[in-house]
Structure 1
């Protein structure tokens, strides 16, 4: 079972505060009193491998299921508000857009998608590359949303091709910025020529359109899905990412 990834106990939502919500592989979502552990409600939402998402503004909790259902429940009593049925298992933890109007998720057809946070209606769907979106979550950055996928190709093949691509820039420059100025365009060109080898996708949050090719090579062990970025919000958002550069990470 996964504990709710994001929750806020105060102010109360629908007359119910200090609540912890989690879903189980068995298919039930539970809401407990955070102070006492007493059961407040439980609902069958389908087997889940992700953490629920709290939509604090509406007093909803959104649960993704491995049978493809994305369900919004009322936090106060667990009543179903809406349900969106995807065409493949959902193994990504949902995320809320910055303005709170959209909920982002992804399924095992490798579709990134967004639904209306109030109604659950599908707003957009975009096919990505890779073989899985499991274990991660969309990362919202301003008016964009970032997804990561498990590659279709082996780690060693991608490491070898990535290294060869970077080495085409010539000798390693000891100044990192200067070296990147030479290497970055070559990475972008390699991924543009081999789009099915991308694992990092930046989409327009409102319409799902891909915002070009990010020059990010695959860097991870055992062909796992790469870590999602961390965002430092500010006047200009900063994205921090485990990154493969020449001669190291």
Structure 2
């Protein structure tokens, strides 16, 4: 059965950003309906003491950050108003993550009692800020890796920097362990862990200064070891995984970007002084890499540079629905670059301080970019492409669920594109592409795998989207 959920209070959800780099594969691709051709402006800024983390954004028109001061905060995405603050109990060095199918936000913290680290994981109700559950990771004296991942079934993946062996944990939405497996010889507080997940594999990036420096691939079904590749590079940066091919793009602390095949074979390497997780183009042909002194677009087939821009950035980019690249810079600017040529489409000065990784989302008639700098969270907004100031987007267009079908009413004949995308932004099914006559039309999507999808309608005058849950 297919359920299509749209909040009557929020209107159409144009897109969310539920975890670091949008999805567990860390593609950096926004929801397909988010197109940032129109230049955004800073609408609000909210002071959050304690070094707020990279933001995430949910379907309930809210932004979430954690702080090293020990709090998880929920902020109203369109006003910047603080809604609630949940006391975590200790310093949180990571990034929170949302369960896309439930009223849940996850966060971690590490308790330091005379240098005895103990990793905790919290599940918090996003609506109220009350606790669902808290668990202590099984590694004993430990602290948690900095990048949480949640797959389409709601399973949370978190790493546990135990000593002497590290642990990787898969946790069900109810707080029970799906599995927990050790990773020998990579534990201890000097080891750095990062994680990316596709449908069948979890990719663990290890490499503290005194440890094995590898990319390790585990099965998401039971945590069994599939392969590992020695990189020789210490890094705590998550890799980016192409959901279509399974290719892993690993950024090392030596500045080298490495491409590794889905079965663990090195493909190519490129020395780009890369400093953060790259992002993937919509078709997977390009990898967009932030460097300390320049920003690069790299061909995914051989690692050659397609174009570069003299923009220094230590934060990861995002790729919008049109394939253009949003780049947060070290000098406080936010850029939109053409994905194909690198030409600057717009440039917005947010602050004089370096910008964090970003979150991209949209609700009703506005699209948003959220970013942090020092102790401040910023919200920037713009009109969607082709939206008019004096006319609500989609005026006269009806787009809603009809049992297992999607119902669309067009007031006039119009060029229409209607497609279904999965959570990482991959095209699953194109329901219609052409001139559609005025009147009512019913479409029946065919979705084999369970999960959360997005139905995106593009037409002359704007776009709409519906969340599709199978």
TM-score, normalised by the number of residues in structure 2: 0.35
**How far is the alpha carbon of 1:99 from its aligned partner?**
2.0
Q: Does 1:218 align with 2:351?
A: yes
Task: Provide, for residues 26-70 of structure 1, a one-character-per-residue CA deviation record: whole Å limited to 9, x for no partner.
Answer: 431110122322221111222223111111222211100111111
Structure 1 residues 226 and 203: alpha-carbon distance in aligned structure 2, compared to 1, 3 A threshold = same
Aligned to 2:202: 20
Out of 270, 282, 287, which is 1:103 matched to? 287
TM-score by length of 1: 0.63
4+ residue runs over 4 A deviation: none
Gapped runs of 5+ residues in structure 2? 1-192, 371-377, 382-470
SS at match of 1:70: strand
Once the two structures are superposed, residues 198-237 of structure 1 have per-residue CA deviations (whole angstroms, 9 ceiling, x without a partner) of 42111111111212323x4218xxx453341414499x99
Mark the CA change 1:207 to 1:23 in structure 2 (over 3 Å): closer, same or farther: same
Q: Looking at both structures, which has the greater relative contact order when contacts are Cα pairs under 8 Å and sequence separation is at least 6?
A: 2
Question: Please, which of 127, 133, 150 is the counterpart of residue 330 of structure 2?
Answer: 150
Residues matched between the structures, number: 176
Matched with 1:190 is none
**Equivalent runs, 1:185-200 vs 2, <5 Å:** 198-200=332-334
Q: Name the one with the larger strand percent.
A: 2
CA contact (8 A) 1:218 1:226 kept: no
**What pairs up with 1:30-49 in 2 under 5 angstroms?**
30-45=216-231, 46-49=233-236
- Distance in 1 (alpha carbons) for counterparts of 2:363 and 2:241: 20
Displacement of 1:127: 0.7
Residue matched to 1:239: 368
Structure 1 runs not aligned, ≥5 long: 10-17, 152-197
Distance 2:366 2:324 in 1: 11
User: 1-side partners of 2:220 and 2:316: how far apart?
Assistant: 25
Q: Name the one with the larger helix percent.
A: 1
1:80–1:233 Cα change, 3 Å: farther
- Report SS of the residue matched to 2:344: coil
Residue in structure 1 matched with residue 87 of structure 2 by the alignment: none
Match of 2:198 in 1: 8
Provide the C-alpha distance between the structure 1 equivalents of 2:351 and 2:379, rounded to a whole number of angstroms.
Answer: 8
Deviations 1:139-168 (A, max 9, x none): 1112310111233xxxxxxxxxxxxxxxxx
1:69-124 Cα distance to aligned partner (Å, 9 max, x none)? 11111112x101111111x2x22111101122101111112x11011112211111
Give the aligned CA root-mean-square deviation in angstroms.
Answer: 2.6
